[in-house]
Amino acid sequence: MPEAILAQLAVQPGELVLDCTAGRGGHAALLAAETGTEGTVYLCDLDPGNLDFAAARVKAETGVPTVPLQGSYVRAPRDLRGDGIAVDAVLADLGFASTQVDDAERGFSFLRDGPLDMRMDPSGPVTAADLLAGSDERELARIIFEYGEEPLSRRIARNIVRKRAIDPIATTADLAGLVRDAYGQRAASSRLHPATRTFQALRIAVNDEFGALDGLLRQVLEAAEAIGAGQPTWLADGARVAFLTFHSLEDRRVKRAFAELDRRGLGKAPARMPILPSETEIAINTRSRSAKLRVAVVGDRAERT
């Protein structure tokens, strides 16, 4: 949703921008073009390969200075505060790069057989295979239900435990087959691929995605409080903060945090409803069909925007 993001963040020449999930640098390059060479774009990503690619792309396409921050975006506010930096615009695109999905060796997709990895940071300590091997049946059912909203979570967890007692569950095809078996005849009539929710749940757990999201949202609220108290923080007064989510569990968290920001008079969320992709964009990029964009303005200047 590049046009909507540019319109909502309204980056001005010379401003400082934080892209929390740089990916392959598409959004970062567009935002850099708006801030120009007098501004700076701070790039954060768990995947060091994508981060290097994004930084090189922004430099090649715009010449705008970039500062890479490798690691979880939840650490970015601390890094910015430590350097005395207050950014004017923040984007957190909570999707993941197509290079990760399309690479079978990364293990994100049930459509491509590969190792059950799912780590966005390849140096991370726990893979999806580790999680399946080390969690008991109740914990597996909880993860699949809470993070994937999968109604057959208990049956799937039971299948996993039975299978691993015989052989390790090591590949995406192994797991997808177990989920399909749990669905039985329902698999043929399921609107989604039966493994969709289970793969989503494991990816979220492996990368602690909700922990990071909740942490960033909390730091947005804390920054808004600091602005109200006249204290230095990592967001400038009037900073625009945008979250692009791809499923209800993410969107719900952002919606609640922005409502709290509004309720406490710490900022302003201009629209109650999220911005959705156009039919044209969905036709061009089918992965955008579930996207929802929410934007808030923090600080005293929010009331004057």
Determine the number of helices (DSSP H) and then strands (DSSP E) in the chain: 14, 7
* pLDDT < 50 stretches in the chain: 304-305
pLDDT at 185: 83
pTM for this structure? 0.91
Q: What is the pLDDT of residues 5-19, one digit of tens each?
A: 999 999 999 999 999
pLDDT at position 302 = 60
pLDDT attached to residue 103 = 84
CA–CA separation, 204 and 84 (whole Å): 32
Q: What is the pLDDT of residue 288?
A: 73
8 Å CB contact between 172 and 110:
yes
- Nearest alpha carbon to residue 30 among 68, 4, 51: 4
pLDDT tens digits, 186-217: 877 777 889 999 999 999 999 999 999 999 99
Please give the sequence-ordered ranges of beta strands (E in DSSP) within the chain, or none if there are none: 16-19, 40-45, 66-70, 87-93, 235-245, 267-268, 292-298
The CB density around residue 275, as the number of other CB atoms within 10 Å, is: 18
Tokens 């979220």 correspond to 204
DSSP string, 199-257: HHHHHHHHTTHHHHHHHHHHHHHHHHHHHHTT---SEEEEEEEEEEESSHHHHHHHHHH
